Amino acid sequence: MILPAAHPLIDEVTLTTVVRRILDSKTATLSQWHADAIAHHIINNVTAGLWRIAGIANNGSEQLSWSVILKILHLQPKNVGSIFNSSQDPTHWNYWQREALIYTSGILDNLSGDLLAPRCFTVTQPSANILWLWLEDIQGSPGTTWDLERFGVAARHLGYLQGSYVMARSLPSESWLSRDWHRVWVSNIDNTALEAWREPTAWQHPLLKEIFSPNIGDRVMNLWSDRHTFLDAVDKAPHTLCHFDITPNNLFSRRNAYGDDQTVLIDWSFVGYGVLGEDIINLVLDSVFLLFVNGSSLIPLEKLVLEGYLAGLRSAGWNGDECVVRFTYTALAALHFGLIVGRLLKIVQNESRHSWLEQRFGRTFDDIIAARAIAITHGLELADEARLLLRFL
């Protein structure tokens, strides 16, 4: 469901300051402006609303157009039905102030020439437990409209950035950066829901019977048993700065003033310490899981992303063993998506959620389950590859 956002009470003094920064003018004044809510599905409870504010400013004898994105963050009471509850703990994977802090820290100001974050003009706090991020309104092509080849370009840009942290840059040391993201993700999985897959009567829904093989329960529980082995081995890979939510709806492509192709990455609420290969998991599998890329294109997409990412690492000077990156990708993709199967079973059994999902994705429930099953099945297949790779690390 798309939730309507309350209209923000915008202070024109603050807005004037923001507009002057956008236009790089010390004297611009507001002429006319309007604020429009950006329709979005609130998944992460940290986000309270998104607005595009646009208007005209007087700058001497000129009238100049401007626009800015207002992202509202808040600390919400815990919702027992959500896995995306916010936290006041700076070390928590979903610390509610992290995105504001990453922008004000300056860490995102100089990522690389090809992968960028939106400019942040200022952060304001209109009241307790609420922060407003005044962000650049990115003009470009959203990742939700990309062809497969552009995913490979984004992966190359990402590989160069993350390789540069291994080879030339010092990792930031801020205490509020997330840590052990996938270890925490896995620790929050309900293994009783996984156990249910060993009981055929629990998943006799026609959709599930057609999609999954009879040995699904054993494969899932074998992966669950291997979780600590996988996570411990992944920790030995080279560490870098990770975004942890690189999905098509958080990506844009654009050309700079010189005509160079750039990738812009938004929504930095999970940013923190990870390892090489960790961020491409969502870029590949979430693209199918969230129905941005057809499931039939999963393997070509995976190939393009892995090749692009490794090319980016090489261009940053990293000459390590490609098997290390491949293992990170296969092991964490298996844990992240293979173990989502427990939640899938709950969704299928909870018919009250079916229409909500159909409204959210604009697709039939059958289509939604089929896409998720493709990602889950591939995750389980990658677990087998991870076990083989582990022998050579």
CA distance 91 to 178: 6
Convert the pLDDT of each residue in 295-346 to its tens digit.
Answer: 999 999 999 999 999 999 999 999 999 999 999 999 999 999 999 999 998 8
Region of residue 391 (left: phi > 0; alpha: psi -120 to 50; beta: else): alpha
The separation between CA 151 and the C-alpha centre of its own chain, rounded to angstroms, equals 14
Beta-ladder partners of 347: none
With b for 16 or more beta-carbon neighbours within 10 A and e for fewer, the 267-289 pattern comes to bbbbbbbbbbbbbbbbbbbbbbb
- The number of beta carbons lying within 10 Å of the beta carbon of residue 325 is 24
CA distance 155 to 246: 10
Rounded mean pLDDT of the chain? 92
The residue with greater pLDDT, 42 or 313, is: 313
- The number of beta carbons lying within 10 Å of the beta carbon of residue 360 is 16
φ, ψ for residue 238 (rounded to 5)?
-60, 135
The residue behind tokens 């693209």 is 287
**In which band, very low, low, confident or very high, does the pLDDT at 2 lie, cut at 50, 70 and 90?**
very low
Q: Name the nearest CA neighbour of 335 among 231, 233, 241.
A: 231
Indicate the DSSP class of residue 96: T
- Kindly give, in sequence order, each residue whose CB lies less than 8 Å from that of residue 320, ignoring residues fewer than 6 positions away: 238, 276, 313
- Which amino acid would we find at residue 9? L
- The number of beta carbons lying within 10 Å of the beta carbon of residue 362 is 9
**In which band, very low, low, confident or very high, does the pLDDT at 64 lie, cut at 50, 70 and 90?**
very high
Mean pLDDT to the nearest integer, 338-359:
91
The residue with greater pLDDT, 238 or 87, is: 238
Tell me which of 138-147, 175-184, 198-207, 253-262 is least confident: 198-207
For residue 316 the two structure tokens come to: 């940053």
Say if residue 386's pLDDT is above 60. yes
For residue 139 the two structure tokens come to: 């003009």
CA distance 47 to 36: 16
Say if residue 3's pLDDT is above 60. no
The residue behind tokens 């005044």 is 134
Report H helices in the chain.
Answer: 12-23, 98-105, 148-167, 181-187, 191-195, 206-211, 216-225, 227-234, 280-281, 287-289, 298-315, 322-333, 341-349, 354-361, 365-390
Per-residue pLDDT, 215: 87
**In which band, very low, low, confident or very high, does the pLDDT at 207 lie, cut at 50, 70 and 90?**
confident
**In which band, very low, low, confident or very high, does the pLDDT at 155 lie, cut at 50, 70 and 90?**
very high
**In which band, very low, low, confident or very high, does the pLDDT at 82 lie, cut at 50, 70 and 90?**
low
pTM over 0.85: yes
Helix pair 227-234, 216-225: axis angle to 10 deg? 50
Say if residue 1's pLDDT is above 60. no
Q: Are 273 and 102 in contact (CB under 8 A)?
A: no
